[in-house]
Structure 1
Amino acid sequence: MLKDNALLKIKKSIEPFVGKKVKIKANRGRKKTYEKIGILEKVYPNIFVIRIEESPEFINRVSYSYSDVLTDSVELIFCAGNGKAVKIKH
């Protein structure tokens, strides 16, 4: 039950940033990390989707679960309207 509340809290903290620019840092295992800048496209009950434009003709979409944020496998940093960065924490 405690985990469900934490996941809901993470989802609620991400929802206001739909359509906003986000920097994502994801752990890919074996000391490999993935860092990209994209747009938070959609928020679903169990996952969220980020659109990453690799080039003008290639758009990549990646999805992560809220438990990825909870376990620190994924770190999200949003650009706030006042020019400050907002890091999503669990």
Structure 2
Amino acid sequence: MPNSIVEIKKKLDERIGKHVLVKAQAGRKRITTHHGILSKTYPAVFIIHLNDEQGTLDRVSYSYTDLLTQNISIDFDEAE
């Protein structure tokens, strides 16, 4: 991932509508994973609509600093 928030936002803007796998830290030694689609980017956050079957969440938002500080990781599905 790029080294600044501006670069991260530009990279995510290029991939709006793409399938994504998000791994986020949910506490001590717990990691949650979500499959979804990157739907929108805003100046401070980005929105992912989830494809989870069992989950009650239909969308989740993260800040660009979460990526910069490696609290979350994003992998895009390149097979599209």
State the TM-score bracket (shorter-chain normalisation): 0.7 to 0.9
TM-score with structure 1 setting the length? 0.76
Give, in whole Å, the separation in 1 of the partners of 2:13 and 2:27: 27
User: CA, structure 1 residues 59+30, in 2 after alignment: closer, same or farther (shift >3 Å)?
Assistant: closer
Q: Does 1:62 align with 2:60?
A: yes
| Gap runs ≥5 in structure 1 | 85-90
Q: Does 1:19 align with 2:17?
A: yes
Decide which structure has greater strand share: 1
Deviations 1:49-75 (A, max 9, x none): 0000233xx661100000000010010
Deviations 1:30-89 (A, max 9, x none): 11111111000101110000000233xx66110000000001001010122xx39xxxxx
The percentage of aligned residue pairs carrying the same residue is 39
Partner of 1:53: 51
Structure ID, larger Rg: 1
Superposed CA RMSD in Å reads 1.8
Q: How many residues align?
A: 76
Decide which structure has greater helix share: 1
- What is the one-letter code of the residue matched to 1:12? K
- Which protein has greater RCO, CA pairs closer than 8 Å, 6+ apart? 2
SS in structure 2 at match of 1:45: coil
TM-score with structure 2 setting the length? 0.85
> Once superposed, which parts of structure 1, at least 4 consecutive aligned residues long, lie more than 6 Å away?
none
- What is the one-letter code of the residue matched to 1:71? T
Give, in whole Å, the separation in 1 of the partners of 2:34 and 2:52: 9
